[in-house]
Structure 1
Amino acid sequence: MQDLQYQLTPKLIDSLYTEAMVLADEARSYFDSDRTRQISSAEVAVAFSCESLKVTTRLMHVIAWLLNQKAIRAGEIHPSDSLRELDELGYAPATDDWMVGRMPDEAQSLITASEDLYYRVQRVSSNVYGSNEEVPAPHRMIEKLRQAF
């Protein structure tokens, strides 16, 4: 835990938090609109709804993790009192890239941005709290692929 002070600066936390909140607002605005009516295929419309939930899940996990880090920094939670579940970034299901490719460009952009933010925060979390052995296997594989390219 003592590395937390060194690796996780208030500026980084605030920057990631602001990015997450802006992206959450953009996603809410986009997915709450009547965009599904523009999608002709029922299969893509269902996938669109599922992906909107995945985006929301990713962003809420990121926001919750960052708020926990802010509370630790503010002294509201002592690092040794923090529950292990709060230290970890919550699991978010992977995106079906093939199906996302069939969605409108703006949806694709939001999905990609939410994944990018989630994986960046996941790397920060892994660096702060140790290895990513507890990260679900699909996320470890995706992360290895992202690092390879």
Structure 2
Amino acid sequence: MSLILLTSTDDPSVPTSARNRAAVVEDFARSQLFDRTFREGMELVEETAAYLDGEGRRDSKLLSRSAALAYAGESMKLTTRLMQIASWLLVQRAVREGDMSADDACQPRYRLADRKPEAEPTSPELPIALVEFLVRTEKLYDRVLHLDRRMYVNAAEEEALNPVQSHFDRLTAAFGRG
């Protein structure tokens, strides 16, 4: 007896939209765009950590009390944003390496949150290096968020975009392919 495993791209009970989304996720995870984005994201994490642990620590000690508080707040925002990017990239890598299915990667808990446009850093005294890391991180976050939105269109948005396909998917799921 042989066991046949159906993935989302093979299972007729899974709507076409979900099969397509999983295929897009798998294709992206194997792409050069992913390779470049992953490398850029992880390098930015390492550069930022090195700065905050070394030169940034020295820079922050030279700041006034109010600027030092602003530095602490901005560095926390920076590290939080970088961890969100890194987590998203690691999910995509898990898909690439077969440690996670594309269907699992499509779950809402792995999506990036929309970001509110950030105001200028709260102190003009902040070290230029910190400000540059903030800018680079926000740009990368915006690019990754764009990829996330393009790859993981949720079912409600997809149904609104193509209600006929949605009805066809429901019929196919109910009656199978004939």
Which bracket does the TM-score occupy, shorter chain normalised?
A: 0.7 to 0.9
Q: Calculate percent identity across the aligned residue pairs.
A: 27
Q: How much does 1:74 deviate?
A: 2.1
Q: Which has the higher contact order (CA 8 A, sep 6+)?
A: 2
Give the length in aligned residue pairs: 131
Aligned to 1:11: 32
Matched, 1:37 2:61: yes
Matches within 5 A, 1:99-138: 99=122, 101-130=124-153
**Alignment equivalent of 1:26, drawn from 47, 55, 58:** 47
Which of the pair has more CA radius of gyration?
Answer: 2
User: Partners in 2 of 1:100 and 1:113 — Cα distance?
Assistant: 18
Q: RMSD value over aligned CA atoms?
A: 2.6
**Structure 2: gaps (5+ residues):** 1-20, 157-178
**Structure 1: gaps (5+ residues):** 134-149
Matches within 5 A, 1:44-59: 44-59=67-82
**Matched position secondary structure for 2:103:** coil
Q: Which amino acid aligns with 2:112?
A: L
Aligned to 1:64: 87
8 Å CA contact retained: 2:94, 2:100 = yes
8 Å CA contact retained: 2:30, 2:96 = no
- Compare 76-85 and 93-102 and name the one that shifted more: 93-102
TM-score, L = length of structure 1 = 0.74
